Amino acid sequence: ILQSFEDRLKLTAHHSKYLAKYFPLEAILLMELTGKQIDSFSVFRCSICSVDDLRSIAESSHDRIWLYCFHVGEMLIAYWRGDYLTAEEHFYFALPGAKAPSLNGIYCTFFGGLIVLQLSRQVDGKDDQR
């Protein structure tokens, strides 16, 4: 999976830098879920070197789709780590973009519901102990 992902990234970067900018978001999510490192930034030849670079470029370009995809990925990573408050924050940033039909919209809505459920269980659990 990881090698084919790197091959797709190189091929996409060769044909379209615009589409290639979405791949590091997927690579970061894939690395988080598998625990293996993927070099997803080398194809940009130092113009994008980290997740922070991606975030700043997305925010400065006002590319709503890219920001939406970024927040959905960050939401999934935070959920995976068990950081439900951070996941909820990214969920609310991504929620306006989830109205358009897309696979990310399904992820956003489904995992957003799971995040709210987990947070309500945590609150209910704390209230029961009082």
pLDDT tens-digit series, residues 85-110: 999 999 988 887 766 667 778 888 88
d(CA 75, CA 73): 5
Q: Which residues contact 78 (CB under 8 A, 6 or more apart)?
A: 84, 86, 87, 90
pLDDT tens-digit series, residues 50-82: 677 777 877 887 777 778 888 888 888 899 889
d(CA 56, CA 67): 10
d(CA 16, CA 47): 15
